[in-house]
A and B are shown apart, each in its own frame.
Chain A
Amino acid sequence: MPETYDVTVIGAGVTGAAIARKLSSYKLKTVVVEKECDVSFGVSKANSGIIHGGFHHDFSALKSRLEIRGNILFDQLKEELHFPFKRCGIVVAAFSSDEMRTVEKLYENGIQNGAVGIELCNHDRMLYLEPKLNKDVVGGLFAPGGGIVEPYRLVFSLMESAKKNGVELLTKFKVKSGTLKNDLYTIEAEDGRNIQSRWVINAAGLYCDEISCIFGAEEYTINVRKGEEFLLDKNATAYTSRVVFPVPSKDSKGMLVIPTVEGTTMVGPTATIIDNKEDYSTTKENFKKIFSSARRLVPVVSERDITTSFTGMRPTLEGDDFYIEMSKKKDRFIQVAGIQSPGLTASPAIAEYVKDIMKRNGLELIEKPDYDPNIDKVPRFRNSSKEEIDKLIEENPAYGEIICRCENITEAEIIASIREGHDSLDGIKFYTRARMGRCQGGFCTYKIMKIVCRETGCSMNDITKRGGESWIVNKKIGDFTTGSKS
């Protein structure tokens, strides 16, 4: 007999994880299924990491309302879940009186939405707020409530908290079919695994349309808007003290300069509509575009500081709003689709919103008396003082073994990652930052691989970058010459 659950969440991105955590405070048997080998490997790993300030869209959009609400929830979330988050504030820089008029419109949006502390600024105030701005700035907008977050750490923490409160997680579970019989959905994975569930939440990001189709619910198409971004070294002079936006155009918030929470600088993203959901490539043309537009905002941005680049895919729907509703065709099937930007910001509010929909549609929600919103904090070597480090090492000598020298990540943190279930190279990278610095794993990859083997009992050949066919090494000396493997 397959396991039977009250609720199945499809997709372990920020949306699915936030929903699962919310549901974990109630007496429900909940499972999250995810096709990748770890959580946050979809859209939620590759984005700008901004907790938006609530001024880009007006109140008529659902995404705008959830953005404001989500933003407010972040302080408490950080208290409970310890992911890197900082309210550094957002500035929007205008370079002409035309652009200034658009800024005024944004300001009105912000006021209407209730964005706390939002203000219009003149030239001097803009440069005071962000001294690295191009001196040609005419004026702009300041949203002090905007911030930055490490997106995958947010998802990891949400999921860890959900699991701690009883939610199950099934990875490498690619949903292939979903059939409803006697009030129970049977959900089958590509590898043949089966589960049953009363409720299904479709939070599959780029693939919400396919999931909806598989279950016989609404038909719609997710359009993909691709965004390329570049990361600069943590010593780059381009590091600003606030997120710097240009004045937005009709279909995009534009390319920005982002001081990430962990001290690197990010520039981008582009916005190109593409057909292929798997096209994660970067191009030279966009490279040039990003840098010239970033330099217009912050002239000291330099290509010389690039450490890596990546591509993210925005799952968008016609109309460009979130689509969060009970299916009209299938019972107890909830669509959480079109979660493009500001999905990260809105995620805690999306979770509440989904819970309310479920409640309205007859799900009985009984609070768990033993629900614990807090997870343990893993001390970070890189954020500790010399005295704290001395103490950490005394308690756990693995804090004395530096593995990733660029980001100062110790063996203790790698082990914590593996024990939390993040054991692919990318999973470890997102959990700890190991291999994320300037040498991009040149020195520490083999050390990490050894620790994974020791902790999990796997062999070097079993280790992947991010699951699937992303093997690192698959041959031992002698294998080719003896022709045992091809």
Chain B
Amino acid sequence: MKKIEREVLIIGGGSAGMAAAAEIAEKGHSVVIVERESTMGGILNQCIHNGFGLHRFKEELTGPEYAERYVNIINELPIDQYTGMTVTEIDDQKDFKLVYAFSSHEGMVEFKVKAVVLAMGCRERNRGNIGTPGSRPSGVFTAGLAQRLVNIDGLIPGKKCVIVGSGDIGLIMARRLSWVGADVQAVVEIQPYPAGLTRNIVQCLNDFNIPLHLSHIVSKIYGKDRVEGVDITPLIDGIEAPVQTFHIDCDTLLLSVGLVPDNEVSKKAGVIISNQTSGPAVDGNLMTNVEGIFACGNVLHVHDLVDFVTEESIRCGSYVNSYLEGKTKGSQYSVMAGANVRYITPNKFTSDSDNKFYLRSMIVKNQAELVVSLDGREIIRKKQKHVQPSEMISCEIKADLLKSTGLNEKSRLEIGLKS
């Protein structure tokens, strides 16, 4: 078995892994990225629509273009890149970690490193996860798989489609399939509000006259060999109203019912997973409960914009640098989701540096207010033009607001949304 020693190993070469690696290499630390696919870029490679990079590069790029920018950046830096290689295990030896990865070229490799960055991205929820009754024919695809088939292989999954879930990938696929001549009959969403970005509702559904059925579910799937149709049932006050069920004939069903951070490897290493985000619980340095293991990007919590992934991952890289240099910020205090907040990450903050949080709303509201309080005392109140569950909110708290506030072990920061 081959053995390699470096300071940092990054699992996953998507936008998160590349940004973290660049930050670490720029400070002169030795870093290796291990990526399972044959190219860097992760999920960006199949997102050939534009809408990437407005924040980071101040221009509208497609997914592959955004990835390419970062590939160029990491290629300029002394970063070891292993593609076609999968990490299977992290063995925590306290002072160092042994990371096992394999590829067809290298066989099994043992990496000895001081720090590991988890950047494995996420996977799609599937039919089993939402428990749709009915038969089990061919023709039920997750939206991401359909996206991959159309955009990379030039194959169309079917002619008449219904899409379950109004997540962004589903919306984008509604438009994509319409463009290639398939007939998108409807998008069905269980919630009373869309799960995707507003701009995608407008550009992908409204512009193509595709009906969006909010507060509806696909209640049954028909078809022996191939999908032949679905029943759609409205929810009235959250309860199925079977008498109002209607049927749509279709040969394809796409599921866009959410993404889940991919934490198999993390769990095996003893990393604690938050049940709010399904990603690791991390402190203000984006470090998990296992010292020296950090996390950023979709593996930490599902982001809707790549720019935020990049921002978070650059920060993660700088925390790793501090860790390697023995300058990790000291005391960590609790952070809690307040009113109307589904989750907040990270789950800890430090008093001696600026803190940045990402959170998701549980409500849909115009003119909401973000309220930050420390031990019951309000320290920030900020207007939010519009909040909804599908749009991530970021919140920055400067160090000076937290300094000299008499923090103790029990101190607690709460971030909530007032309607």
Contact = CB atoms under 8 A, between A and B. Distances in A.
A353 interface: no
Nearest to A387: B1
Interface in B217-254: 219-221, 224-226
Nearest to A388: B108
A451 B104 CA distance: 16
A386 interface: yes
Contacts of A307: 126, 128-129
A477 B108 contact: no
A402 B86 contact: yes
B75 interface: no
Nearest to A279: B135
Given A393-B104, A393-B108, A281 B138 contact: no
A439 B155 contact: no
Contact of B124 (A235, A439, A460, A473): A439
Nearest to A485: B159
Interface stretch (B15-23, B144-152, B321-329, B377-385): B144-152
Contact of A309 (B36, B105, B124, B131): B131
B181 A473 contact: no
B104 A401 contact: yes
B104 A397 contact: yes
B100 interface: yes
A interface: dominant SS:
mixed
B134 interface: yes
A399 interface: yes
A250 to B, nearest CB: 27
Contacts of A408: 88
B225 A468 contact: yes
A471 B104 contact: no
B138 A465 contact: yes
B131 A287 contact: yes
Given A465-B138, A477-B180, A390 B108 contact: yes
Counting chain A CB atoms within 10 Å of each CB, which of B104, B106, B134, B154 scores highest? B104
Contacts of A386: 1, 88-89, 100, 108
Contact of B133 (A284, A401, A442, A445): A284
A475 B150 CA distance: 10
A220 interface: no
B156 interface: yes
A469 B154 contact: no
Contacts of B1: 386-387, 390
Contacts of B100: 386
A439 B126 contact: yes
Given A283-B133, A397-B105, A439 B123 contact: yes
Given A307-B129, A466-B225, A400 B103 contact: yes
Contacts of A465: 137-138, 225
A367 B39 CA distance: 56
A442 B124 contact: yes
A112 B100 CA distance: 53
B104 A398 contact: yes
A465 B135 CA distance: 14
Interface residues of A, number: 59
Given A281-B135, A309-B131, A400-B103, A476 B156 contact: yes
Contacts of B36: 402, 405
A400 B131 contact: no
A308 B128 contact: yes
Interface string A451-486: 000000000100011111111111111111100000
A144 to B, nearest CB: 31
B22 to A, nearest CB: 26
A393 B107 contact: yes
A328 B128 CA distance: 47
Interface in B152-209: 152-159, 180-182
B102 to A, nearest CB: 6
B57 to A, nearest CB: 28
Nearest to B130: A306
A390 B183 CA distance: 48
Q: Which of A311, A394, A475, A478 has the most CB of B within 10 A?
A: A475
A303 B157 CA distance: 30
B153 to A, nearest CB: 6
A263 to B, nearest CB: 13
Interface in B4-38: 36
A473 B157 contact: yes
Nearest to B252: A473
B138 A472 contact: yes
A399 B102 CA distance: 9
A201 interface: no
B412 interface: no
A376 interface: no
Interface in A282-317: 282-284, 287, 303, 306-311
B267 interface: yes
Interface string A213-231: 0000000000000000001
Interface string A395-438: 00111111001001000000000000000010000000000001
A446 B148 contact: yes
Interface string A61-83: 00000000000000000000000
B155 A476 contact: yes
Contact of B108 (A282, A389, A425, A438): A389
B220 A446 contact: no
B127 interface: yes
A306 B130 CA distance: 8
B142 interface: yes
A279 B105 CA distance: 48
A280 interface: yes
Contact of A303 (B106, B131, B152, B154): B131
25 contacts: A235-B267, A281-B134, A281-B135, A303-B131, A306-B128, A307-B129, A308-B126, A310-B136, A386-B88, A386-B89, A389-B107, A389-B108, A400-B84, A401-B103, A439-B124, A442-B124, A443-B145, A446-B152, A465-B137, A473-B149, A474-B158, A476-B155, A477-B156, A480-B159, A480-B182
Interface of B: 1, 36, 84, 86, 88-89, 100, 102-108, 123-124, 126-129, 131, 133-139, 142, 144-145, 148-150, 152-159, 180-182, 219-221, 224-226, 267
Counting from the closest, the 6 A-B pairs by CB-CB distance are A480-B181, A400-B104, A465-B138, A470-B138, A469-B225, A397-B104
Given A446-B145, A473-B157, 14 more contacts: A283-B133, A386-B100, A390-B102, A393-B102, A394-B107, A400-B104, A442-B123, A442-B124, A442-B142, A443-B123, A464-B138, A475-B159, A476-B156, A480-B181
Interface of A: 231, 235, 278-284, 287, 303, 306-311, 386-387, 389-390, 393-394, 397-402, 405, 408, 425, 438-443, 445-446, 460, 464-481
